């Protein structure tokens, strides 16, 4: 689950991380009032959407007068921003964050996420903040530093010191401040069950303060039951309708950029199916796991989600019948097709209990269903049809 920048900064503030003074506004007059309240002679107007790359898309403005605060807020509100993280869809701006301008001496990058191969939290830092970290990793990998944190001990002070020295923070007071920041940041990551915590840029001001100038927090959906105060921050308008519908129906769904819609039972089989599609030169449009106990109603919901994606040119169903027998599933697929009426070809591969009966049901349905017995053959056929 993602949240807005202003919400992330409020959480950071509560955990002892310094952030710029600012408040959120939904109209120009409100933005002007906030700027007056903050004081000073310069402010930043930042569009609040669930995506990065707002600056390049025109969602961040720098105002040097109260008149500009009103003008820029009016220009940003109501616009649709298409950023590198929002893909083909644009994000509507309904609120802006009005913040004080910081006197920046140095920009850094700082983040934490889970390294699943090592089963540890990895802290990522770079002296090249304010730019896309992917570009830095590609062009100058030596500028990126990592510390892997043992979950038993937590982040140790020596690890924070290592990062501070690698970031070339030479002043002793700044190093001490940086260590306190890093330890607080790690504590926030663990306590809030984050999947990703990112600050870009993390700045050192000319007054030697360390401030989170931007902030992105993403949370583990499976842990939200432990954090009702964070779950309340969810804004459904910022999420894809397909992902929202999937979550409401207990389906695991992630939208991708390809044109082959996938419906599979079991996360491992879903990943293998996507790998097969890639092997034969295709691109999956999604990850969709309907689970081992999928019903006809669940299958119908899954078809609705797949058909809502205009990029989908063919649907590949790959089911291993265990708890859910193949004949029952085949009946559900036929019923779903009759109700949803998919306008693209449907390739179905069934294996498991009552598989022969399941294939008979599909073949006798009279629908545009191509039945395959082998996963590789089904993936190859789906790729051919998508082309």
Catalytic residues: 109, 198
Handedness of CA 339, 343, 345, 349 (dihedral sign): negative
- What is the pairing mode between strands 314-321 and 346-352? parallel
Residue 363's nearest CA partner among 379, 344, 348 is 348
Q: Cα angle vertex 327, ends 326, 332, to 5°?
A: 95
Maximum pairwise Cα distance, the chain:
77
Q: How far is residue 239's CA from residue 147's CA, in Å, rounded to a whole number?
A: 32
Q: How far is residue 83's CA from residue 78's CA, in Å, rounded to a whole number?
A: 15
Q: How far is residue 237's CA from residue 80's CA, in Å, rounded to a whole number?
A: 13
Residue 45's nearest CA partner among 32, 107, 53, 37 is 32
Containing H/E element for 183? helix 172-191
Are 286 and 309 spatial neighbours (Cβ–Cβ below 8 Å)? yes
Q: How far is residue 147's CA from residue 163's CA, in Å, rounded to a whole number?
A: 8
Distances (CA, A) of 29 to 69, 71, 216, 370: 9, 10, 27, 60
Q: How far is residue 5's CA from residue 320's CA, in Å, rounded to a whole number?
A: 42
Q: How far is residue 289's CA from residue 266's CA, in Å, rounded to a whole number?
A: 6
Are 31 and 96 spatial neighbours (Cβ–Cβ below 8 Å)? yes
Beta carbons within 8 Å of 57's beta carbon, 6+ residues apart: 81, 82, 83
Distances (CA, A) of 346 to 293, 308, 342, 369: 21, 15, 8, 5
Q: How far is residue 322's CA from residue 292's CA, in Å, rounded to a whole number?
A: 7
């Amino acid at each position: 689950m993602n949240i807005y920048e202003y919400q992330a900064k409020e959480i950071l503030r509560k955990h002892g991380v310094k952030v710029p003074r600012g408040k959120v506004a939904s109209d120009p007059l409100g933005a002007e009032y906030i700027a007056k309240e903050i004081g000073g002679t310069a402010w930043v107007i930042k569009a609040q959407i669930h995506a990065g790359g707002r600056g390049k898309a025109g969602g961040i403005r720098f105002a040097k007068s109260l008149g500009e605060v009103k003008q820029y807020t009016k220009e940003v509100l109501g616009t649709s921003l298409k950023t590198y993280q929002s893909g083909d869809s644009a994000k509507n701006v309904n609120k802006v964050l009005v913040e004080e301008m910081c006197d920046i001496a140095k920009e850094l990058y700082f983040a934490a996420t889970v390294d699943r191969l090592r089963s540890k939290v990895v802290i990522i830092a770079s002296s090249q903040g304010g730019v896309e970290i992917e570009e830095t990793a590609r062009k100058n990998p030596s500028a990126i530093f990592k510390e892997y944190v043992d979950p038993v001990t937590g982040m140790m002070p020596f690890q924070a010191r290592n990062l501070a020295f690698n970031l070339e923070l030479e002043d002793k007071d700044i190093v001490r401040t940086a260590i306190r920041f890093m330890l607080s940041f790690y504590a926030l990551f663990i306590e809030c069950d984050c999947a990703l915590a990112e600050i870009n840029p993390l700045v050192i001001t000319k007054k030697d303060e360390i401030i989170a100038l931007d902030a992105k927090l993403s949370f583990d959906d499976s842990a939200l039951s432990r954090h009702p105060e964070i779950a309340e921050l969810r804004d459904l308008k910022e999420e894809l309708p397909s992902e929202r519908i999937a979550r409401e129906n207990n389906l695991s769904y992630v939208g991708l950029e390809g044109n082959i819609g996938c419906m599979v039972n079991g996360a491992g089989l879903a990943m293998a199916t996507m790998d097969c599609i890639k092997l034969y030169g295709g691109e999956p449009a999604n990850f969709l796991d309907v689970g081992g106990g999928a019903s006809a109603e669940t299958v119908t919901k899954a078809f609705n989600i797949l058909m809502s994606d205009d990029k989908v040119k063919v649907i590949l169903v790959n089911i291993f019948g265990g708890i859910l027998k193949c004949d029952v599933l085949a009946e559900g697929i036929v019923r779903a097709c009759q109700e949803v009426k998919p306008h693209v070809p449907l390739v179905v591969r069934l294996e498991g209990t009552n598989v022969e009966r399941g294939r008979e049901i599909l073949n006798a349905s009279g629908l545009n269903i191509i039945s395959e017995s082998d996963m590789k053959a089904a993936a190859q056929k789906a790729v051919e049809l998508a082309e």
